[in-house]
Amino acid sequence: MTQQTFVFANAPTTQIPALEMTVREALATHDGQHVATIGNVVMLRIARATDAIAICLDTISALDGPGPRLVRCGVDTGLALRVGAGWGGPVVDFAARLAEHASPGQVLATSATRQATGHAQIDFVDLGEHRLGAEAPPTVLYRAYRVADLDRARPATPDTASETPPHQ
């Protein structure tokens, strides 16, 4: 078992080719792997949590068209098992559930990913506890965003620094 960060990106089927192309270009500069595409889901393994969040945010921005944002991502960090050419374990399953739970345009992450992420460029909004399965215990979820996205919308003050960022 080895510590990894997994990303599941969900998008409408018509956006999957553009999504795959965008993430493959991003993976060329990061230590990561396109693990699989199944239907409307792209699965990635990325060595660093910060890179995983950045790839998600960049992908959502790159595919942002004139209409609403449609891509949604789930990111979890933890121990995973190499299973043939793929990966398995609770961290992989949880990242998939996060992507299903995310709203379009959102990047949802676990506390493990939040802790493993450098906070110089990326920050998180605490969304509270959520239950992502009938038998699953409640888990605190975080929405990731770039600090610069919040700064562009309005200058951060002590009163507004913890508010939800725009468009995420």
| Residue, of 72 and 70, whose pLDDT is higher | 72
pLDDT per position as a tens digit, 136-162: 788 999 999 987 765 544 433 333 333
Identify the pLDDT of residue 40.
92
pLDDT average, residue stretch 71-97:
90
What is the span of the domain harbouring residue 123?
2-153
Report the DSSP pairing between strands 72-83 and 107-109.
parallel
**159 in any annotated domain:** no
134 in any annotated domain: yes
> What is the residue-averaged pLDDT of the chain?
83
Share of the chain above pLDDT 90, in %: 47
Do the domain assignments include residue 163?
no
In this structure, is residue 31 part of a structural domain? yes
Q: For the chain, how many structural domains are there in total?
A: 1
Would residue 39 count as lying in a domain? yes
The model's pTM is 0.84
* Residue 167 domain-assigned (yes or no): no
Whether the per-residue pLDDT at 166 is higher than 70: the answer is: no
DSSP 82-129: EETTEEESHHHHHHHHHHHHSPTT-EEE-HHHHHHS-TTTEEEEEEEE
3-state class (DSSP) for residue 17: helix
Q: Which residue has the tokens 């792997």?
A: 33
In a domain, 160, yes or no: no
Q: Which range among 40-49, 76-85, 96-105, 128-137 shows the weakest confidence by mean pLDDT? A: 128-137
pLDDT at 67: 64
CATH number of the CATH domain containing 74: 3.30.70.1230
| Reported confidence tier of residue 61, pLDDT bands at 50, 70, 90 | confident
Check residue 134 and give its pLDDT.
Answer: 75
Is residue 164 included in any domain, yes or no?
no
